[in-house]
Chain A
Amino acid sequence: MGGGQRFMMLRIKQFLAMAGLTALEAIRQPICLLLSAGCVVLIAAVPLMIMHTFGEDGKQVRDSALAFHFVFGLFIAGHASGTLLSHEMKSGTASAVLSKPVSRELFFLSKFTGITVVVMLFSMCAAIATLLSERVAEKFYFTNTLTGYITDTQTGAMLFGAPFVACLVAALINYRFKRPFASTAFVMLLFSLLFVLVMSGFFERNGTWMPYDFHVQWRIVPVSILITMALVVLAAIAIALSTRLDTVPTLVISSTVFLLGLMSDYIFGRFAENSGFSAFLYMVVPNWQHFWAADALSGGGNVPWEYVINAGLYAAAYSTGILCLGMFSFRHVEMK
């Protein structure tokens, strides 16, 4: 292996080690488990809570579940990005790592990647919970033996129980093998949701056995992917800010950017044609509306994959720009 290749391999190994550690650090924090499990429980509880929907249960559940995914995801992405790097710089672990043969750029990027992994794992949990919750919601059912509105209580019970089973298994693993509870429960949550997704495929909505069929609306998946992209962009903004700011200012500014981005079409977009300044702000502030496509699913609609790819390119370009600024800032920061 040549010198250049060896150098590259070393950098990749260092990158993977640091990104892995960041993800591990994030999921070992109890708040990560609390937010993820809380989100899943709320998504599972949506079909029980909504009433008087005039046959729109599926839509209501879908919209609410996706909103929970977005809001809880924002907390996880914002908290992890806003606290991990600034905490490392304040506690000195960043100094300890940067005293090793690790470049600052690599360290910064690995932190972002680690957080992105956590955001993706959370999004997988939320997306599976949304698929299942939508299946649980009361729908009109028509077979030879039964006609009427049916709630899939069996899947609902399994979905509702998944976070509790995950915590129970994690507690047993902690007792038996002394593995950390929070991270084990987080991973178990994902596995238990996957298990429920697979198991629910064996049952009809009325609880009888049937030939294997998932019976979930896969068209929700592109919408969940779009939400995940928004969370990754927000994570990039928060981590870039945290190179210079403390946790509280980082979270305040990230939240402000989020709110401005939500209203971007209204407060900047409509003036963009006539005002250069508004056009600039409209371009610079991330437009979260691009990533919220739940309405496209009403009336049996779909989000085309071309749209998802284009939104992905927008998210990638925006994140790259923000991360470059973050890297530049981190390169010159002094480690206390």
Chain B
Amino acid sequence: MDEQKENDVIVEVHNLVKVFKDFWQRPKVRAVDGLDLEIRRGEIFGLLGPNGSGKSTTIKILLGLLHATSGNVLVFNRSPRDVEIKARIGYLPEESYLYNYLSPCETLNFYGRLFDLKNSVRKERIWQLLEMTGLTHAANRSVGEFSKGMARRVGLAQALINDPELVILDEPTSGLDPVGCRQVKDLMLTLAKRGKTIILSSHLLADVEDVCDRIAILYNGSIKALGSVNQLLEKQESVRFTMPSLSPDVMKKVLELIREKIGKEPEVDHPSMNLEQFFLEVVEKAHKATSQQSGVAPTERMADYLLIKDK
């Protein structure tokens, strides 16, 4: 029964409370207030909320970096302070916390060593991740010289070096250009297809809407809305059709029929490409026309080991 539960529920949070205290141990801020949450294997779960709503605090408690004031937290059916479970987790912090004097290559090598990856595996993964994040040409530059977006990519790569079962991404697209954002979203979808569980904390609602299966909206440390994205966003009272353009006669007939049935004028428009799709097309064309690269090289390539299905 327990084994089955571990297989299904990856993260379990019951009545979680976190109160930050001041120097004199007096309560200062109630960052999380009675949070209940269950995250299941293979889902992309979005944590949404304004600044200070308790998203990052919850994530840090899940990682054992902060201690819960009260309540129960289980990750892989064990306490988050259990060091062993962290071998199954990949974490991208809100800010890219990196050692400024190290290069991306050295950074990934260091994190790879913490997971006891064999030399050959480590080297292979490092290069695959550098290719995936478009940083091969900057592999030996100090991370301290990087732009925020480039550092974010190194952060993302370090979170994936151990091929984790649970990936916790805190604002993963912050500082990334639209190409990087799309890539991160594709990566999340790919990982979820492989049965990985992803917790995504973000302010960018469009990103969350694009990839999340379920979301929780936090405010003042407690959940105000929880459910699947479709369930929460769907307008049951309206219907939208998308079809090839109709001839004026057919269009007129269709509109007349609808008007007759609903008793008012329906809204009709042409679907348009969104700005993200348009931007990606322009950049792709520009990239094909250019031979030299100074920033991040746009790539659609995923690290091979992240695509291999688990046995």
Q: A residues bordering B, Cβ < 8 Å?
A: 9-10, 13-14, 17-18, 21, 24-25, 28-29, 91-93, 95-103, 178, 180, 183, 332, 334-335
Contact = CB atoms under 8 A, between A and B. Distances in A.
A103 B86 CA distance: 10
Interface string B46-67: 0000000000000010011111
A130 B66 CA distance: 48
Interface of B: 60, 63-67, 83-87, 89, 91, 93, 95, 97-99, 101-102, 110-111, 113-116, 140-142, 158, 162
Given A95-B60, A101-B84, A335 B101 contact: no
Given A25-B99, A95-B97, A101-B87, A178 B113 contact: no
Contacts of B111: 100
Contacts of B158: 96
Given A17-B114, A95-B60, A335-B66, A25 B101 contact: yes
Nearest to B97: A92
A100 B115 contact: yes
Contacts of B87: 100-101
A18 to B, nearest CB: 8
Given A101-B84, A332-B67, 10 more contacts: A10-B116, A13-B113, A17-B113, A28-B101, A93-B97, A98-B63, A99-B86, A100-B115, A100-B162, A335-B60
Contacts of B142: 180
A131 B14 CA distance: 66
B65 A98 contact: yes
B29 to A, nearest CB: 12
B171 to A, nearest CB: 13
Contacts of B102: 21, 24-25
Contacts of A103: 83
12 contacts: A21-B110, A92-B93, A93-B97, A96-B91, A99-B86, A99-B89, A101-B85, A101-B115, A103-B83, A332-B67, A335-B60, A335-B65
Contacts of B95: 92
Nearest to A92: B97
B96 to A, nearest CB: 9
A73 to B, nearest CB: 22
Nearest 4 pairs between A and B by C-beta?
Answer: A92-B97, A28-B101, A17-B113, A335-B65
Contact of A100 (B60, B99, B114): B114
From A91, A99, A103, A335, residue with most partner B Cβ within 10 Å: A99
B11 to A, nearest CB: 14
Given A17-B113, A17-B114, A21-B110, A99 B65 contact: yes
A75 B116 CA distance: 35
A93 B66 contact: no
A181 to B, nearest CB: 11
From B89, B110, B114, residue with most partner A Cβ within 10 Å: B114
From B83, B91, B93, B102, residue with most partner A Cβ within 10 Å: B83
Given A14-B114, A17-B113, A101 B83 contact: yes
A118 B98 CA distance: 21
B66 A334 contact: yes
B98 A93 contact: yes
Contact of B83 (A13, A29, A102, A183): A102
A95 B1 CA distance: 34
Nearest to A18: B114
B98 A101 contact: no
Contacts of A91: 97
